[in-house]
Amino acid sequence: MTEPENRCRLVLIVPDIADADERAKIVADALKGGDVASVIVPQYGLDDGAFQKHAEKLVPLIQDAGAAALIAGDSRVAGRAKADGLHLSGNAEALSEAIEKHAPKLIVGGGNAADRHHALEIGEARPDYIFFGKLDGDIKPEAHPKNLALGEWWASMIEIPCIVMGGTDPSSALAVAETGAEFVALRLAVFGEPGRAPAVVAEINAMLDEKAPRFED
């Protein structure tokens, strides 16, 4: 599968499903739908032991599909599950410490950048990417206007790639792409009806292929 290098790409956020096997099947099916750059695995309400088990099931199947597996929040789980990276929602200091400790062996990115000031602080830590929005912030059909505005400002100025959280409607991916952001993160837009997840991934890729602006080399 060729990767569309020159346009906004899809990042999936694993849905909150307590059964590890069911969750793994749904994610594996979604990844059959087309290009996905990376998959973020949040802990949600799982205890550490259960999170470890989920991660060990999910990481290999994400990697087999050609995507990067990013574990949210827990570097020990990321290490034991042999994940590709760590997604952190903390402040610039937490991100900076994690980068010092784990990069370049692991991809380290994230951040909780609610405004330009915090975004620039996070940028100074030189993460692999910055994330605008919350992992479970898809509560409306469209992407949050503040995150779109931050993504557009960041992408126009700063080389570090950004991921912008989309909404519950798959078409919100295009609004994110139009900001110039390198990646759009989707959760419920893809996994709201698990049986349709592969078709939705295919539809989003087709839409981005057709309509997303292209990056200049």
CATH code at position 104: 3.20.20.70
On whether residue 215 sits in a domain, the answer given is: no
Average pLDDT for residues 97-126, to the nearest whole number?
95
191-195 CB contacts, 8 Å cutoff, 24+ apart: 191/12, 191/14, 191/15, 191/26, 191/30, 192/168, 194/15, 194/26, 194/29
On whether residue 216 sits in a domain, the answer given is: no
Task: Please tell me the predicted confidence (pLDDT) of residue 217.
Answer: 63
pLDDT at position 2 over 60: no
Distances (CA, A) of 75 to 70, 90, 130: 10, 13, 18
On whether residue 4 sits in a domain, the answer given is: no
93-102 pLDDT tens trace: 999 999 999 9
Task: Please tell me the predicted confidence (pLDDT) of residue 1.
Answer: 44
Nearest 5°: the CA angle 19, 23, 28 is: 155
Mean pLDDT score of the chain: 96
**pTM, 2 dp:** 0.97
On whether residue 130 sits in a domain, the answer given is: yes
Backbone CA torsion sign across 136, 130, 36, 152: positive
Single out the residue of 97, 100, 108 nearest to residue 130, CA to CA.
108
Provide the percentage of residues in the chain whose pLDDT is more than 90.
94
Single out the residue of 36, 38, 68, 74 nearest to residue 54, CA to CA.
74
On whether residue 1 sits in a domain, the answer given is: no
Average pLDDT for residues 154-160, to the nearest whole number?
97
On whether residue 84 sits in a domain, the answer given is: yes
Q: Can you read off the two tokens belonging to residue 66?
A: 């050609």
Tell me how many domains the chain contains: 1
169-215 pLDDT tens trace: 999 999 999 999 999 999 999 999 999 999 999 999 999 999 999 99
User: What range does the domain containing 21 cover?
Assistant: 10-208
On whether residue 217 sits in a domain, the answer given is: no
On whether residue 78 sits in a domain, the answer given is: yes
pLDDT at position 216 over 90: no
Q: Can you read off the two tokens belonging to residue 102?
A: 């784990």
